[in-house]
C-alpha cells in the first residue's frame, strides 16, 4: 500500500475515534442520554478538514511519513473534544484555529514543496525574527501578563503568544547556522561561539523579562540539543546546561516569581499557615500559591486507573464555580487524566511518544545536515515542550504555564505546531524520495 493510502486509513481511524469521543461527551452531558447531530458535526468537520490536509500532502509531499499527520490529527481531536467538554465556546474558537492551522500547514507545504532547504539561506533573518518575537511581550504597551508570566502580545483585540512561533524560527536558524559552523564549533575555538552566547543571553533575558522559566527552558533545551547533534560534543551540552542552571540560580535569587514557583514545587502542602503574597495574609500554601498545582494533582488522582469517563469528571463545585484555573490550556492534561484515567493519559503520552519517535526517524533518514538538524530540532522541541508542561502538572519539575502541543486551547500554539508538522513532512518527503530514487 502506498504511503498516502496508509495515511488515509490512519486518518479514518482517527475520525472514528473523534466521533466516539464527541458522542460520549454529548451523551454524558444530556439528560436523558441521547445523541444529537450537532455534536457529531464537529467530528464531521474535523474529518473533512484533515481529508483536505491529506490531499494537500498527496500533492505536495507524496513521499512524506504517513503517521505524523494522523497522530497530529488525533492529538488535536483529543484536545478539541476535551475543550468542547470543558468550555463549548472555546471549542468553536479552537476549531477555527485548527482550520487556520491546516491552511497554514497547506500553504507551507505548497510554498516549499520544491525545496524547503531554501530556508537555510534566510537563517539570519529567522534568527533575528525569533529574538524579536521573544522580546515582543516584554515591550510596554502591547505586552500582556497572564497568570504571572509575560508571554502574550495584544494588538487590538488580537492576542497571541509570539514565543510559539519564535521557537520554530529559532530551530530554522539553528539548523542553518549549526550546519554551517559545525566543523569549526567542534574545534572549540571560543570566537565561533559568539552568536551562541548571544542566544544564551537572549534566552536569559527572556526569562527575566517574561518571568517564565518554561519558555526559557524550552528555547535553551532546543539550542543545546541541536548544538550536541551538530558537534557531537556532549561536553558542550553539559557546559550549556551548567550555564543555564547557573543563570537560573541567579534568576531564582532575584526574581520572586521564579522563587515562588520553585517553593511551590518543593513543598506544595504546608501544615501551618505561611505568608501568602497574593492576599497579604497567612494561609496554608495549598490554599494560596500552590492551589493550582495541588488541585491539578487532585484532579489527576481522582481519575485513578480507568478515569471517570468523558463528561463525568469534576471540574466545578456543586455551585458551578471552576475548581482548577486554566483548565483548557496549562492544565488540560489534568482534565484528561481525570476523565480518561491512567489508561487514557498514558495513551495520550504514547501518541506523543510515537510522534517523537517518527520525528526522529525523519531526522535519521534525511541525507543532509540542515534537514537532519531541522527535523531533530523540531521533534525535540515538541518532546521537551510536552515534558515541561506535563512534567510541571505532575510535579516532576516546577510548574510553568506552556501549552501542550496540538491539545491545549490556544491559537498561536495550534498554528505554530501545524507549521512544525508541515516542515517535518517536507523533510520526510525529501528523504523518502531520495531513498526511493536511490533504489530504482
Partner 1 sequence: MNKQITRLALTGVGMIVALVVATTYWQAWAAGDLADRQDNQIERVAQFTIDRGEIRGNGVVWARNRAEKKGGRTFYFRVYPQRGLAAHVVGYSTQERFRTGLERSMNDYLTGQNANLSTVLETFVDKAKGATIKGNALRLTLVPRAQRAAQNALGRRCGAVVALEPDTGKVLAMYSSPTYNPNLVEENFDQVTSVTAECRRPDALLNRATAGLYAPGSIFKVVTASAAIDAGRFQPDSEFVDPGYCEVYGKRVNNYDTTRPFGRLDLHTALVNSVNSVFCNIGKELGARFLVEYMKRFGFYALPPLETPADERAPSGIYKGTKLFDPAADTDVDPGRLAFGQERLLVTPLQMAMVAATIANDGVVMKPQVIDRIVAPDGKVLVRSKPEVLDRAIKPATARAVGAMMKDAVAEGTGTAAQISGFTVAGKTGTAETGIAGLNTTWFIAYAGKNRPQVAIAAVVEQQNSTGGQTAAPVARDVLQAILGSTANS
Residues 66-125 that bind partner 1 (CB under 8 A): none
Smallest distance from partner 1 to CB 64, Å: 18
Q: Verify binding: residue 188, partner 1, rule CB under 8 A.
A: no
- The DSSP line for 9-65 is HHHHHHHHHHHHHHHHHHHHHSSS----HHHHHHHHHHHHHHHHHHHHHHHH-TTS-
User: Which stretch, 26-34, 122-130, 210-218, 249-257, contacts partner 1 (CB under 8 A)?
Assistant: 26-34
- Tell me the closest approach of the beta carbon of residue 137 to partner 1, in angstroms: 26
> CA-CA distance, 77 to 86, in Å (whole number)?
14
Instruction: Of 232, 150, 246, give the one whose Cα is nearest residue 183.
Output: 232
Which region, judged by CB under 8 A, interacts with partner 1, from 8-16, 63-71, 256-264, 306-314? 306-314
CB 374 within 8 A of CB 360: no
Whole-Å CA distances, 279 to 258, 271, 276, 282, 408: 18, 18, 6, 8, 29
Number of residues engaging partner 1 in binding (CB under 8 A): 68
> Binders of partner 1 among 312-371, rule CB under 8 A?
312, 314-320, 323, 337-338, 341-342, 345-346, 349-350, 352-353, 356-357, 360, 363-364, 369
Q: Is residue 264 part of the contact set for partner 1 (CB under 8 A)? A: no
Binder of partner 1 out of 45, 138, 262, 284 (CB under 8 A) = 284
CB of 417 within 8 A of CB of 381? no
Does residue 376 touch partner 1 according to CB under 8 A? yes
* Burial tier of 122 (Cβ tally within 10 Å: 0-12, 13-18, 19+): middle
**Residue 47 vs 421, nearer CB to partner 1:** 421
CB of 390 to partner 1, least distance (A): 5
Question: Which residue, 157 or 321, is less far from partner 1 as judged by CB?
Answer: 321
Using the 8-state DSSP alphabet, how is residue 280 labeled?
T
Instruction: Using CB under 8 A, pick the residue from 130, 384, 407, 420 that binds partner 1.
Output: 384
Residue 295 found at the interface with partner 1 (CB under 8 A):
yes
Using CB under 8 A, pick the residue from 69, 153, 394, 402 that binds partner 1: 394
In the complex, the smallest distance separating the C-beta of residue 393 from partner 1, rounded to whole angstroms, is 9
Cell numbers standing for residue 193: 561561539
Beta-bridged to residue 316, according to DSSP, are: 322
Q: Where are the beta strands (DSSP E) in 106-248?
A: 143-146, 149-155, 158-160
Q: Tell me if the bond preceding 32 is cis, omega within 30° of 0.
A: yes
What is the contact surface with partner 1 in residues (CB under 8 A)? 27-31, 33, 225, 228-230, 232, 269, 284, 286-287, 294-295, 297-306, 308-309, 312, 314-320, 323, 337-338, 341-342, 345-346, 349-350, 352-353, 356-357, 360, 363-364, 369, 372-373, 376, 379-380, 383-384, 386-387, 390-391, 394-396
Amino acid at each position: 500500500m502506498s504511503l498516502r493510502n496508509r495515511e488515509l486509513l490512519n486518518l479514518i481511524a482517527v475520525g472514528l475515534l473523534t466521533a466516539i469521543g464527541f458522542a460520549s461527551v454529548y451523551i454524558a452531558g444530556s439528560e436523558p442520554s441521547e445523541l444529537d447531530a450537532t455534536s457529531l458535526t464537529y467530528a464531521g468537520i474535523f474529518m473533512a478538514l484533515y481529508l483536505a490536509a491529506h490531499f494537500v500532502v498527496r500533492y505536495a509531499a507524496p513521499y512524506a511519513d504517513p503517521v505524523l499527520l494522523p497522530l497530529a490529527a488525533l492529538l488535536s481531536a483529543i484536545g478539541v473534544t476535551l475543550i468542547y467538554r470543558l468550555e463549548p465556546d472555546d471549542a468553536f474558537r479552537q476549531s477555527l484555529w485548527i482550520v487556520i492551522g491546516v491552511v497554514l500547514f497547506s500553504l507551507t507545504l505548497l510554498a516549499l514543496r520544491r525545496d524547503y532547504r531554501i530556508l537555510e539561506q534566510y537563517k539570519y533573518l529567522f534568527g533575528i525574527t525569533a529574538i524579536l518575537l521573544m522580546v515582543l511581550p516584554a515591550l510596554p504597551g502591547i505586552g500582556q501578563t497572564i497568570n504571572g508570566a509575560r508571554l502574550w502580545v495584544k494588538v487590538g483585540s488580537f492576542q497571541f503568544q509570539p514565543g510559539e512561533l519564535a521557537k520554530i524560527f529559532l530551530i530554522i536558524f539553528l539548523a542553518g547556522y549549526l550546519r554551517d559552523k559545525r566543523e569549526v564549533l567542534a574545534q572549540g575555538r571560543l570566537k565561533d561561539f559568539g552568536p551562541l552566547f548571544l542566544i544564551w543571553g537572549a534566552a536569559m533575558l527572556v526569562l527575566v523579562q517574561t518571568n517564565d522559566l518554561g519558555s526559557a527552558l524550552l528555547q535553551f533545551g532546543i539550542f543545546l540539543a541541536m548544538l550536541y547533534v551538530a558537534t557531537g560534543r556532549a561536553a558542550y551540552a553539559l557546559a550549556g546546561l551548567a550555564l543555564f542552571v547557573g543563570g537560573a540560580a541567579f534568576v531564582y535569587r532575584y526574581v520572586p516569581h521564579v522563587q515562588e514557583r520553585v517553593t511551590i514545587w518543593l513543598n506544595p502542602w504546608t501544615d501551618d499557615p505561611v505568608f501568602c503574597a497574593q492576599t497579604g495574609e497567612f494561609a496554608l500554601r495549598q490554599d494560596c500559591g500552590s492551589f493550582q498545582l495541588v488541585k491539578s494533582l487532585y484532579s489527576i488522582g481522582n481519575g485513578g486507573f480507568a478515569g471517570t469517563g468523558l463528561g463525568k469528571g469534576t471540574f466545578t463545585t456543586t455551585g458551578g464555580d471552576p475548581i482548577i484555573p486554566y483548565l483548557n490550556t496549562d492544565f488540560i492534561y489534568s482534565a484528561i487524566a481525570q476523565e480518561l484515567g491512567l489508561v487514557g493519559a498514558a495513551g495520550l503520552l504514547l501518541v506523543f511518544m510515537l510522534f517523537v519517535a517518527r520525528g526522529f526517524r525523519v531526522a535519521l533518514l534525511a541525507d543532509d545536515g540542515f534537514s537532519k538538524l531541522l527535523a531533530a530540532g523540531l521533534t525535540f522541541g515538541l518532546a521537551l515542550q510536552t515534558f515541561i508542561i506535563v512534567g510541571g502538572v505532575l510535579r516532576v519539575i516546577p510548574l510553568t504555564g506552556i501549552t501542550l502541543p496540538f491539545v491545549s486551547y490556544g491559537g498561536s500554539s495550534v498554528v505554530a505546531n501545524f507549521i512544525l508538522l508541515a516542515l517535518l513532512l517536507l523533510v520526510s518527503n525529501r528523504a523518502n524520495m531520495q531513498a526511493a530514487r536511490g533504489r530504482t
